[in-house]
Amino acid sequence: MSDPTQRPLHDLGVADVLRGLQARAFSSAELVDHLLARVADARELGAFLHVDADGARQAARAADAARAAGRAGALAGVPLAHKDIFVTRGHPSTAGSKMLAGYASPFDATVVARLAEAGAVSLGKLNCDEFAMGSANENSAFGPVRNPWDTARVPGGSSGGSAAAVAAGLVPAATGTDTGGSIRQPAGFTGITGIKPTYGVCSRYGMIAFASSLDQAGPMARSAEDCALLLSAMSGFDERDATSAQRPPQDYAAAMRQPRDGATAAQPLKGLRIGLPREFFPAALAADVEGRVREALGQMEALGATLVDVSLPRTELSIPVYYIIAPAEASSNLSRFDGVRYGHRAAQHGDLQDMYRRSRSEGFGPEVKRRIMIGTYVLSHGYYDAYYLQAQKLRRMIADDFQACFQQCDLIAGPVAPSVAWKLGEQGEDPIQAYLADIFTLPASLAGLPGMSVPAGFGAQGMPVGLQLIGNYFAEGQLLHAAHAFQQATDFHTRRPQ
């Protein structure tokens, strides 16, 4: 257990902050002031879109007072920031798009409200790919986010602002969303820990929709322990979300610490079967990524786990399936942004149809337009059965493949992405290359399964490599337990960019 009094404030994770506040080593107000200064000095990263300095200081003082009075919430005084896909009352909520520039929500998203109720202190809103569409965080209308490990490289997307802010020590944790890998991939690219829970565990109410059957909120932080603490606060049934799972509140931190039957201090993963799909280790996988992932799996073996060869035969089909279903849902969801009630409206236009056309042309960026057009095409008469319906059938088969694997293993492991983070602009002319980078994260998203990225070392040019762990439905506790055991035996999650 780290001593929070012996480390710089910006180097502390959520659990460290809570221990430090409990020990009165520092106050939340002192921590918030320290982090706000770092945010101001790190504008070149492009991580923050909006900083609420006054609101953060006020919330920090309130958290300190609550702690002194003995009525502190589970996350009282812990600073964080929210991906700008979550609406926040009275503050800008743009989804990284000009379409929503200047929009301020009249209410908080459920995830935002629950973290605030637990006492967390929000520093502001974080940059993201426009409407969460992207794998690099280069699609934001307000500029790209840069990777703190190498500012010439992407941080991954669409939760790149969240990943960069945590990796750079601007906040100990942040919220993210994962539609096809947008928590796991940026976490892997920036050397932090992130978990996408089972679809329905976290409410989507107040989360600006991209693909409703895929979007899921989750925490991004320094460690599995930090993610467990955040997920306990932000998850739970919400009657305002029709897709919310009706389950009692979960204590993921307790589940993470629950020892396995037969486990020992030296082998905390004894009896755990980890499946290795052969499709997750293709010839095209970068050697540096495969090397670090294999070494991490060797470490898990040393901790008592057993590695089992399995197969997910439809892995390659997950890319065309996802890029039919997700754009189709985006086409439907984004039809509401027409310049009438809210959002960007063209200054000059003719009739109503011309106003729609000009407002949407000006408000949406190239990637969003591309996906709307694809989605509208596959839903159109004559193509629905050939594309969308077939994609949904394959989606069911992909989910069945996972269930067949879970007959042989408890968790599934592999790389997060085929390579380390690439250079900014490197894939700008070929969006298909960026789509292919999601090959290992898409299957779990299509199946609605929980998955996480755990720092597993460093590859080419010293860039982070992530180990992906995938569990069965509602197996977040098992995922977090395995990740925590790995992190207790390694220090990759403690390393920071200069």
The Cα 212–Cα 228 span in angstroms is: 24
Q: Which residues lie below 8 Å from residue 380, measured CB to CB, with a gap of 6+?
A: none
Residue pair 246/252 in contact by the 8 Å Cβ criterion: no
Q: Can you count the helices (H) and strands (E) in the chain?
A: 16, 11
182 given a catalytic annotation: yes
Find the length of the chain.
498
Residue 99 tokens, joined: 């379409």
Q: Which residues lie below 8 Å from residue 254, measured CB to CB, with a gap of 6+?
A: none
**Residues linked to residue 95 through DSSP beta bridges, in sequence order:** none
Residue of 158, 244, 359, 445 with catalytic role: 158
125 given a catalytic annotation: no
158 given a catalytic annotation: yes
The Cα 24–Cα 5 span in angstroms is: 10
The Cα 428–Cα 407 span in angstroms is: 41
Residue of 162, 182, 203, 359 with catalytic role: 182
Nearest to 420 by CA among 451, 463, 359: 463
Q: Which residues lie below 8 Å from residue 20, measured CB to CB, with a gap of 6+?
A: 4, 5, 12, 26
Nearest to 342 by CA among 42, 83, 97, 18: 97
The Cα 263–Cα 254 span in angstroms is: 16
The Cα 363–Cα 365 span in angstroms is: 7
Residue of 83, 93, 223, 232 with catalytic role: 83
Catalytic site residues?
Answer: 83, 158, 182
